[in-house]
Structure 1
Amino acid sequence: MNAKQKKIVAIMPIKLNNERCPGKNTRLLGGKPLLRHELDSLVETGLCDEINVFCSNEAIVPFLSTGVKFLERPKDLDLPTSNFTQIFSSFISQKDADIYVYAHATAPFVKVETMKECIEAVLSEEFDSAFCAIRLQDFLWKNGEPLNFDATNLPRTQDLEPIYQETSGIYVFTKDVFEKYKRRIGVRPFIKEVSFEEAVDIDTPEDFKLAEVLLKIK
C-alpha cells in the first residue's frame, strides 16, 4: 500500500472525573479548554483522516475542536485501574486504520511540527512507531548505585550516553504494532526529542499553574 493511501486515525482518550486535578481536561488554559490545545494542533497537521475523542460522557462534545468526532466508550474504562491496552483495545474494535495517533489532552504544548515529524516517520515505513521524549544526560542512580557512569572515574556530563524519558506528547504506531505486541511502541521506534515546554504534562493543580505561567511568557 502506498504511504499516501494509508488511513491515519487519531484517538484522544478523555475522562471527566479526574482524581488528581478535577475537571482539568475542560478547564480553560489561555482562553480555551485544555483538551483543545492538542486537538487543534492535530487538526492543523492535516495528516489525520479522523480525530476522535474517546469518552464515556457526551458532555465533552461542546468542548471539542471543529472536525473532531465524539466516540462513546464504556464507562468501566473510566476506572483508575484502566490502562492503555484496555482503552485502545476497545477503540481499535470500533475504528480500523493503518496508523494510529494516540494523543493526550494533558500535553498542550506539543508543536504541530513535532506531530507531523512523528506521523511522517511512521508513514515512511522506516519506523514502526514514534514517540516524544526528553533527553537525560546527567548522573543517574538506581538502587543506590550509579546507573550510567563510573563513580570512580567521573566523565564530563556531555560525554555521558544519553537516556531518553518518554513524555505524554503523542504516540504514533501501526496497527500491526498493537496487534503483535499489545503496546504503542514497536521494535523500530522513532524518538522525537522535545523541549522542556513540549514535555509539560498536566496531572496536578501545580502542573496547571506551570502551564499558565509558560503561556504568559511565550
Structure 2
Amino acid sequence: MISMKGHSSRVPGKNLRPFLKRPLYSWILDTLLNAKRIDQVIVETDSNEIQESVQTLYDLPVFRRPPELVGDHVPMNDLIAFNMKNVPADVYVQTHATNPLLKSETIDRAIATFLENIDSYDSLFGVIERRTRLFWPDGRAINHNPDELIPTQDLPPVCQENSNIYVFTKQSFAKRNHRIGVRPYLFSIDQWEAIDIDDEIDFQFAEFLASRKLQTSGN
C-alpha cells in the first residue's frame, strides 16, 4: 500500500514532481509491481491530480481518503486501517513514494525474511544501522563510553527507522492499531538505497544517486 498527499510543506508537490523526468511516485510503484512477492498494489490519496495521474499511467485501484482522514496531522496508522478495510489480506506491506531507490529485490527479501520468522516476530520494519557516537541533548552518551574512544566501526550498531518498508499481519495491526507490532524484526537496508525524501536536499541527492545508477547500468 502507498499513501500519498497532494500537499507537502517542505517539498511542494513532491509526489508528482518530476524525478528524472517521471513522477516521483512512479518509481516506487514500478518497484512494487516488479516485486515477485507482492500480490496486489493499491494507492490511497487525497488528491485529484495524483488520482488522475496514477489512473492514467497504471491499472491500479486508487482509494480516496474520506474527509476525516484529510489533513497534515492525520496519523499514518489511521490511513493504514482505512486501506485494510478496503483490501482484506493476511499480510500487508507498506512503503512510500518518497523511497525511489528502494529495490524490488529488497522488498522480496524483507517479505521472505518476515514469513520465514513469523513464529518469532509479528511485524518487520526497515532500519539503517548506525555505528557512530551518539549523545542525548544533556550530554549523556547513548551507545558508547566517552572514556573509551574505541573505533566507531567497533561500536554496537544503533538502528534508525528509515520509513522504507513495513510488513505486518492483520492480527498484529489489530493488537496495537500500529504497523509496528509488539515483536518487530528490524530489517537492515543499505543507507543509500534507503534514502527517504523529506526535504529539498534529500530530493536532489536521491535524484543524483538515481542518475548515477542509471548511467552505471547503461539504461
Normalization by structure 1: what TM-score? 0.88
Paired residue secondary structure (1:36) = helix
Separation in structure 1 between the aligned mates of residue 72 and residue 169 of structure 2, nearest angstrom: 27
Match of 2:186 in 1: 191
Structure whose residues are more often strand by fraction: 1
Match of 2:216 in 1: none
Match of 1:4 in 2: none
Q: How does 1:55-204 map to 2 (within 5 A)?
A: 55-64=45-54, 66-124=58-116, 125-126=118-119, 127-142=121-136, 143-204=138-199
Structure 1 residue 53 corresponds to structure 2 residue 47? no
Tell me if structure 2 keeps the 8 A contact 1:51–1:67: no
Tell me if structure 1 keeps the 8 A contact 2:162–2:196: yes
> 2:152 corresponds to which letter in structure 1?
T
CA-CA distance at 1:66 after TM superposition:
2.9
Separation in structure 2 between the aligned mates of residue 157 and residue 202 of structure 1, nearest angstrom: 27
Return structure 1 stretches of 4+ with deviation > 3 angstroms: none
> 2:168 corresponds to which letter in structure 1?
F
Tell me if structure 2 keeps the 8 A contact 1:106–1:202: yes
Deviations along 1:57-94, whole A, 9 cap, x unmatched? 34323432534221111134231111112212222222
> 1:163 corresponds to which letter in structure 2?
V
Bigger shift: residues 165-174 or 67-76: 67-76
Deviations along 1:159-215, whole A, 9 cap, x unmatched? 211111011111111111110122112233332222222121112222211122112
Bigger shift: residues 52-61 or 177-186: 52-61
Separation in structure 1 between the aligned mates of residue 89 and residue 73 of structure 2, nearest angstrom: 27
CA-CA distance at 1:45 after TM superposition:
0.7
Separation in structure 2 between the aligned mates of residue 208 and residue 214 of structure 1, nearest angstrom: 10
Root-mean-square deviation (Å): 1.7
* Aligned length, in residue pairs: 208
> 2:134 corresponds to which letter in structure 1?
L
Paired residue secondary structure (2:156) = coil
Identity of aligned residues (%): 35
One of 201, 206, 210 as aligned partner of 1:215: 210
